[in-house]
């Protein structure tokens, strides 16, 4: 499905990987995922997969789809994390509690 979205949008600079993170040896500008763990755990898992050199307008990092109250979970990243309320842009019941979390690394 992700590959279909990439193709449908005509994106040329996207690599999709469906695998366990410990099997991924490549480095990327961004890691994009739906929530699979608390943010500190996820950062620990993927930080080695993010390129240090930045060639983008937005700093390399993580884009993470999360739901619920994120206050405590994101407290360690308070000064640099950005949270986007998806329900404002996609007003459907599924997105009522969903957030897109961006953490530059």
User: Residue 61 sits in which domain range?
Assistant: 23-104
Rounded to the nearest integer, the mean pLDDT of the chain is: 92
Shortest CA distance to 100 belongs to which of 5, 91, 87, 30? 87
Q: Is 9 or 1 the better-scoring residue by pLDDT?
A: 9
Quick one: what percent of the chain has pLDDT higher than 90? Answer: 73
Region 96-101 average pLDDT? 94
- From first CA to last CA, the distance across the chain in angstroms is 27
Please state, as a whole number, how many other Cβ atoms lie within 10 Å of the Cβ of residue 95.
17
Count of structural domains, the chain: 1
Which tens digit of pLDDT belongs to each residue from 2-29?
888 889 989 888 989 888 888 999 999 9
pLDDT at 12: 87
Q: What is the pTM of this model?
A: 0.88
Classify residue 4: in a domain, yes or no. no
Classify residue 96: in a domain, yes or no. yes
The enclosing domain of 76 has a CATH number of: 3.40.50.150
3-state secondary structure of 98: strand
Classify residue 17: in a domain, yes or no. no
Q: What is the CA radius of gyration of the chain?
A: 14
How far is 53 from 66, CA to CA, in rounded Å? 27
Which tens digit of pLDDT belongs to each residue from 20-70?
888 999 999 999 998 889 999 999 999 999 999 999 999 999 999 999 999
């Amino acid at each position: 499905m992700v590959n279909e979205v990439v193709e449908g949008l005509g994106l040329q600079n996207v690599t999709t990987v469906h695998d366990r993170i410990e099997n991924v040896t490549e480095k990327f500008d961004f890691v994009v995922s739906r929530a699979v763990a608390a943010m500190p755990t996820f950062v620990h898992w993927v930080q080695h997969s993010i390129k240090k050199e930045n060639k983008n307008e937005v700093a390399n990092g993580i884009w993470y789809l999360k739901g619920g109250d994120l206050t405590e979970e994101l407290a360690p990243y308070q000064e640099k994390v950005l949270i986007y309320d998806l329900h404002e842009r996609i007003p459907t019941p599924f997105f009522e509690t969903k957030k897109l979390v961006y953490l530059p690394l």
